[in-house]
Chains A and B, each alone.
Chain A
């Protein structure tokens, strides 16, 4: 199962199969298409902005329907009080109308790298279907993109290993959206439970089974109580 399967609610349209070699040339991730009309790109010590687009309209959009600005803060300070959450954003639920232009200012308050990476955008406009902000420790980056006309729920996350798993996961809902995602901090439940065995639960199960069995035998012998 690829990791996108469970996120797939939001990315159905974009799941073109990409052959996977043993080696990955990073230039293929971003290069030729990055020069597309309207794509602004930043890459320096402060971080990177990939596939920014503030001018080209997605197919079906007549005009930019709204101009929406978000300031997103990220870091361990924003992890919510819940088991398994160490990293976090200051907001996890973004709701925007179709064809709107989104301007994100991403402020990283930690001393390590974080990302605000959105997946599932149309590939004809956004290479790899993604819009990506990445800020080094203590840095701020800024970028804009225009969302398509259809209702969809997009995944936003930080793909530094374990950051999404430990809290850096948000949903970006365009229009009515296309379902909800699992394990968004403060919004939705985890899909998977701990598989560590629980001794108390096992004993409870054992005792309740035995007592039911004894009671049944007892009443079968004595006759069930009647009113």
Chain B
């Protein structure tokens, strides 16, 4: 008998305490007809929350070492950088002259080893070195550690966003971080892998010194290379058909002597569904053979080419390398979850499934907005021709839109297009691994350019302009006419204050906050409802037990 009382009492209490948020609409309507509408109460989301501005970063870091300036180092004339963050000019000088041909002081300032990029004989006697030996290591950025909880050798693509990355890197010496107290990777270790620039006909050796804990190779996509090396070993970098991958601690030299010029692509070909997307991808540019054409054979972080080829100087006023890619942090962040390479390997092989994956981060030259504005602005003057070499190294298509301009595609996948049929348009679609060379003509003629200004340059696929779905972000950068640049390298704009985007909290994801419509009273009522439900269940259990034992109810 007591069980029935408990049950009924519990049921009644539950009905009374049932949270009004969960009433059926119809019931709420009927109740309001009888009892009038409930009284107005202030929900907690109306309590004003101040935007957290405490984590704002400097928009433009100071150029303390004068790296942005035009300068001459080791006899190399290096152009000024218009954007606020510039590459190390000593490294640029060493990449032009060869690390074997510059002073120890320059190497020290560059942070490069003497054999990082060696230049030898002038084989065709036209005044520039044609024997090039490049050594590439593999660096892991934002990797895991058995000691510290946060990622090691950190490289933020945008404020607070540090996906795990593997990149080809020039051969550096000393610490991988800025100093012992810092966990930030030093400037030479960054995404994307450096653009490599050689001259048509050069005799090129590229040694992969595998400093990483996984096996890797290099495959030269779209660069003229023989399938076998002179000694009969494989030279294509494909583990299935050409040669075994380079094991950790081992090295391997690839040989090439490209007969044709063009914009191409190099990447690792081990588990290509994972390693390329981990960041082992870079631009490989073969320049036309010209006399006295000593090239800047590496461009750290791609972007502006500060020492240009003869052909580029003949036809263009500036040149930029633009490498687009996309990242799925579910793939890339696995290296932060475990320190065991075997577990990483098994995740890459059978755990992660690319066919059901979606990229959530989109970068140009290794950064996402707002960091793109620090180092990847295109800064023309009116009536110039700017050469943009564009690679889409990601898995998703790229719909590259130039606001205020219609550019002309002079080369597709490195092949020159007949001048009569070259396409001029304002959105260029690049499938995975495709390259296009664009002539950005800044003559204000209503087609090629609509005149001076700050014109956005971005992927028009929508998600490409977000950081994990939060806008503005992604691969957005801009074409900023000279007169719209301030002296620190920041565009003079008149819209939103862009300082607010330099904040980790801006790019932190929130769940859709249903909690915010609940007050403390609602929560207390839900607890009471839960207790009443429990009471009812206890009565029910008692009742069932009594029935089961055949006792008299």
Contacts and interface: CB of A to CB of B under 8 A. Distances in A.
A110 B249 contact: yes
Contacts of B340: 83-84, 194
SS of B interface (majority):
loop
Interface in A1-41: 1-7, 11, 15, 17-18, 20-27, 29-31
Interface of B: 61-65, 67, 85, 88, 104-105, 107-111, 113-115, 137, 139-141, 143-150, 152-153, 171, 173-187, 189, 209-213, 247-251, 337-343
B507 to A, nearest CB: 19
B147 A7 contact: yes
A204 to B, nearest CB: 20
B147 A163 contact: no
A166 B187 contact: no
B147 A26 contact: no
In the A-B complex, the 4 residue pairs with the smallest Cβ-Cβ separation, listed nearest first, are A110-B249, A22-B61, A190-B146, A76-B249
Given A76-B247, A161-B143, 14 more contacts: A2-B181, A3-B145, A5-B148, A21-B62, A24-B186, A25-B65, A30-B174, A43-B114, A43-B173, A83-B339, A111-B249, A112-B209, A112-B210, A113-B211
A17 B178 CA distance: 13
Contacts of A111: 209, 249-251
A26 B140 contact: no
Contacts of A199: none
A76 to B, nearest CB: 4
Contacts of A192: 144-149, 339
Given A86-B213, A196-B337, A1 B148 contact: yes
A6 B146 CA distance: 11
Given A20-B178, A20-B182, A86-B341, A162 B62 contact: no
A25 B66 CA distance: 11
Given A3-B147, A43-B108, A162-B143, A112 B339 contact: no
A227 interface: no
Contacts of B247: 76
Interface in A165-207: 165-166, 182-183, 190-192, 194-196
Given A7-B147, A84-B340, A160 B248 contact: no
Given A20-B182, A196-B337, A113 B147 contact: no
Contacts of A86: 213, 248, 341
B213 A134 contact: no
Nearest to B247: A76
Nearest to B58: A22
B249 A75 contact: yes
Nearest to B100: A45
Contacts of A117: 175
21 contacts: A2-B182, A3-B177, A11-B180, A18-B179, A20-B178, A22-B61, A23-B63, A23-B67, A24-B179, A26-B111, A43-B107, A76-B249, A86-B341, A87-B249, A112-B210, A130-B180, A136-B113, A159-B177, A162-B212, A165-B145, A166-B213
A21 B179 contact: no
B254 to A, nearest CB: 15
A53 B12 CA distance: 86
Contacts of B251: 111-112, 137
Nearest to B339: A84
A132 interface: yes
Nearest to A134: B173
Contacts of B148: 1, 3, 5-6, 191-192
Contacts of B143: 161-162, 165
B270 to A, nearest CB: 15
A170 to B, nearest CB: 14
A97 interface: no
B187 A24 contact: yes
B108 A20 contact: no
Contacts of B141: 161
A162 B171 CA distance: 15
Contact of A26 (B108, B177, B250, B339): B108
Given A130-B180, A159-B176, A87 B147 contact: no
Given A26-B108, A84-B339, A166-B341, A112 B147 contact: no
B436 to A, nearest CB: 31
A1 to B, nearest CB: 6
Contacts of A119: 180
Contacts of A83: 339-340, 342-343
B183 A87 contact: no
A132 B171 contact: no
A194 B347 CA distance: 13
A50 B538 CA distance: 75
Which of A15, A24, A31 gathers most chain B CB within 10 Å? Answer: A24
Contacts of A195: 337-338
B209 A137 contact: yes
A160 B65 contact: no
A76 B184 CA distance: 26
Contacts of A136: 113, 115
Contacts of A7: 147
A160 B137 contact: yes
A4 B213 CA distance: 23
Contacts of A64: none
Contacts of A98: none
B174 A2 contact: no
Contacts of B67: 23
A106 to B, nearest CB: 14
Contacts of B337: 194-196
A110 B260 CA distance: 36
Nearest to A129: B180
A22 B67 CA distance: 11
Contacts of A17: 181
A110 B152 CA distance: 23
Contact of A134 (B111, B146, B174): B174
B339 A194 contact: yes
A2 B183 contact: yes
Nearest to B178: A24
A153 to B, nearest CB: 14
B211 A163 contact: yes
